[in-house]
Amino acid sequence: MAPPSRPNEAAIGTLDGKVAVITGASKGIGKATALAFAAAGAKVVLAARTREDVERVAAYLKDSGAEALAVPTDVTDVEAVQRLMQRTLEVYHRLDILVNNAGSGRFGTVVDFAPGDWDRVLDSNLKGVYLCAKYALPPMLAQRSGQIINVLSVAAKVTFEASSAYCAAKAGALALTKVLAAEVRQQNIRVTAILPGSVHTPFWDDIPEHPDFEKMLKPEHVAETVLSVCQQPLGVVIEEIVVTPPLGIL
Ligand SMILES: NC(=O)c1ccc[n+]([C@@H]2O[C@H](COP(=O)([O-])OP(=O)(O)OC[C@H]3O[C@@H](n4cnc5c(N)ncnc54)[C@H](OP(=O)(O)O)[C@@H]3O)[C@@H](O)[C@H]2O)c1
């Protein structure tokens, strides 16, 4: 009897030669994702606002033999996002994967929260996802293939006190993810939302009251989740993954 075979076996596993734009790639989950993608053979384009940080990660990857490009980008800025995608196409001539990971948290009760902070949280966690998807999609549509992975948060579905802007932004980004998935699935573009629980990253540096770091996920755990979504056979769409530490949402 012939051994059991897996469907689309050739499509599983490697990201060899795939071009991936990763936002928020200088720290935390984004940096771990860039390292995991490069190790799997992808050409990675690293985007975040702080030039020296993205260039440091790109230099590290190139020293390790990977192909990497740093493009300092604020994902809330239309022209910067357009430049990010243009630069990717100039250098690598295609765009296979977009990981929308950039985001930031600011917390306070509705009464205390400053309107400027509300805008910053909504812009980085929601508008940035829309802008990056909007300008990454034309080359993917032309290729008739592509993948967009939005790293959101359990806060897209669970509410926490003093987190109105963050929860609203992440819930909005989850709705955006679902709309986008429906709009592009006929064109062979797969869209996934990943909702992590607490992860021990610099995200928490300026937040005085935080869960126990020891109990959190590590950024590499989320990176492996993102990678596994991109390693699925072409016939598989993963719409949403919730990933939490063993003790649940902290
Ligand atoms: N840590 C957690 O517990 C946790 C849990 C669930 C979900 N998440 C989500 O996961 C994502 C990554 O979080 P993290 O914990 O890895 O955060 P992090 O360690 O603070 O890293 C955030 C990254 O995003 C970049 N960034 C922030 N605002 C940006 C903007 N406007 N434009 C471009 N880049 C920007 C930062 O670089 P620059 O500041 O230089 O731009 C940095 O590279 C976020 O969307 C976050 O909401 C985090």
Q: Which of 201, 222, 226 to mutate to test the pocket of ligand 1 (most atoms within 8 A of CB)?
A: 201
| Dist. CA 156–CA 192, nearest whole Å | 14
Whole-model pTM: value is 0.96
Q: What is the pLDDT of residue 10?
A: 41
Q: What is the pLDDT of residue 191?
A: 98
How many angstroms does the Cα of residue 185 sit away from the middle of ligand 1? Answer: 27
Predicted confidence (pLDDT) per residue in 54-91, tens digit: 999 999 999 999 999 999 999 999 999 999 999 999 99
Q: With contact defined as beta carbons under 8 Å apart, do 154 and 174 qualify?
A: no
Beta-ladder partners of 191: 148
Share of the chain above pLDDT 70, in %: 95
Q: Is the pLDDT of residue 3 over 60?
A: no
Q: What atom of ligand 1 comes closest to residue 196's alpha carbon?
A: 6
How many angstroms does the Cα of residue 55 sit away from the middle of ligand 1? Answer: 17
Q: What is the pLDDT of residue 219?
A: 98
Q: What atom of ligand 1 comes closest to residue 198's alpha carbon?
A: 3
Share of the chain above pLDDT 90, in %: 91
Q: Which of 23, 104, 117, 120 to mutate to test the pocket of ligand 1 (most atoms within 8 A of CB)?
A: 104
Tell me which residue has its CA closest to atom 18 in ligand 1.
Answer: 203
> Going from the N-terminus, what domains does the chain have, and what CATH number goes with each?
14-243 (3.40.50.720)
Q: Which of 78, 119, 154, 203 to mutate to test the pocket of ligand 1 (most atoms within 8 A of CB)?
A: 203
Q: Is the pLDDT of residue 9 over 70?
A: no
Residue in this structure with the two tokens 């930031």, named with its chain if needed: 104
- Can 130 be counted among the known catalytic residues? no
Q: What is the pLDDT of residue 108?
A: 96
Ligand 1 pocket: which residues have CB below 6 Å? 23-24, 26-30, 48-50, 53, 73-76, 101-105, 124-125, 128, 151, 153, 196, 198-199, 201-203, 219
Write out 159-202 in H/E/C secondary structure: CCCCEHHHHHHHHHHHHHHHHHHHHHHHHCEEEEEEEECCECCH
Mean pLDDT of 132-155: 98
Q: Which DSSP helix (H) or strand (E) runs through 116?
A: helix 115-122
Predicted confidence (pLDDT) per residue in 30-54, tens digit: 999 999 999 999 999 999 999 999 9
Here the contacts of 10-16 (C-beta below 8 Å, separation 24 or greater) are 11/233, 11/234, 12/231, 12/232, 12/233, 13/40, 13/231, 14/40, 14/41, 14/231, 15/40, 15/41, 15/42, 15/97, 15/227, 15/230, 15/231, 16/40, 16/41, 16/42
Residues present in the chain in total: 250
